[in-house]
Structure 1
């Protein structure tokens, strides 16, 4: 292994809304991880990853030339390692909305950036925003545009609260209670997705005045309320607001919900067994769920793959 492992992340709240002024809350998810590797380079997966890494290297060389004040890499070392077959060995499912490209970006920055901001420093607002900007530019290679939040979360491996575009902070989340019935879970849609088309759908929708009004008056309001409830450990408030958020997403973000899950989405709202929301940009991958009683939710979702992330 060349360098440390970096974890996947889950954007609990803020998908699509962060760019429009909502708050966001992102947490590391240690179940999946990845790291740069220089051994076992002859497998198909290693070769595919290496080819992608070579393309990324070309992009990073161009990036540091175009924005010299932003970030500088040891490109010679990166090229040398890429030529030797280096790849990103990862258990993070790609196209599932939990930060596979973010972990790769974090690993490359950690290993090859010059004058890097390290996790051990006093992470001031200025440093966090600088990191977020660097990571956003780096990850744009994979998605067209990026907030930089996924790599930031992966790099720091701590929960991050986004207050606004100019204000982010490391935050604490309430302790897990493994005896608790309440839970956050991942529901596997079985569909690999691409982020860019989902972002495109959202941007197109914003041209509609009615959609913009809904974002401002409903989507952002419920997102911010869910974050406050979650951080304050207010389960009752959280489930009230997450139900409203789930309804808002169901009625206004249909193209981003895999078709086979429309009924399941509605069933959760009607039965109150669970509430679903987009995980990342939507379109497939994982769907995020919140359940007042995880055993009841599992029973209600029988036949579907449910992965518990956090219990409270």
Structure 2
């Protein structure tokens, strides 16, 4: 596949930590675990930094789905449940179904409403204001959009929670390993990419049921929903903690200082699903840490504020 080449200066400008409000879309396998729900809520409650133009349902396949298509459909339905509990009016053209399968080959996209919408929104983006793509699942939808219209590489910045730290012994992580062809598109196409590794970086974003009950459960319908999802993730919460990985990708846009990231050469994804370094390749930005407390504090405060605002509206005060 021959991808368009963007200049080093454009790439570096795209990879600079964003300031102010940015336009973004969120690609999420929302029903796969419990962290996507938290991340989606965090994005929706952060309009001062994220103008969320669309939400895409990503495929997934594990014991919660019968296959990628079923996983995508369940994620689509979960997005609706979250929007309802946040009081969002149902808007046509805001939530899109994504791919119903993984990429069958390195240069073969899987067409979907989500991929088509991303192409449309990216092409419409001003040259000096890229569209940010927050991706917290298998990267099939985003890779498909790039394969459908490679010119969008110069119009978007992808922030992807995928793989493990570049020094990790392998990168057999769920988001990345589900669709190796799509994952390679991210590293080989030259699209401006901010990679947030899982083990070694986002894995620090852990919380516990007592913390969730104290700061989340009482915060309106959405707080009750998130707390229910968290409590249901384990049969035994004694001495138990859970990582909410996906908050990291959203936090990078909310406040880049919460997710420090360095410029590195785009790694090569090997057939053994490991990282290989080639210093001749283009640059990406790779997160090296997350500030766990700052991210959770921001989320908890926004949930509290949203619940208070809803209560005021209901009482007519």
Do these two structures clear the TM 0.5 threshold for a shared fold by scoring above it?
A: no
Instruction: Give the TM-score, by structure 1 length.
Output: 0.27
Q: Give the TM-score of the pair, scaled to structure 2.
A: 0.27
Where relative contact order (Cα < 8 A, 6+ residues apart) is larger, the structure is 1
Mark the structure with the bigger radius of gyration.
1
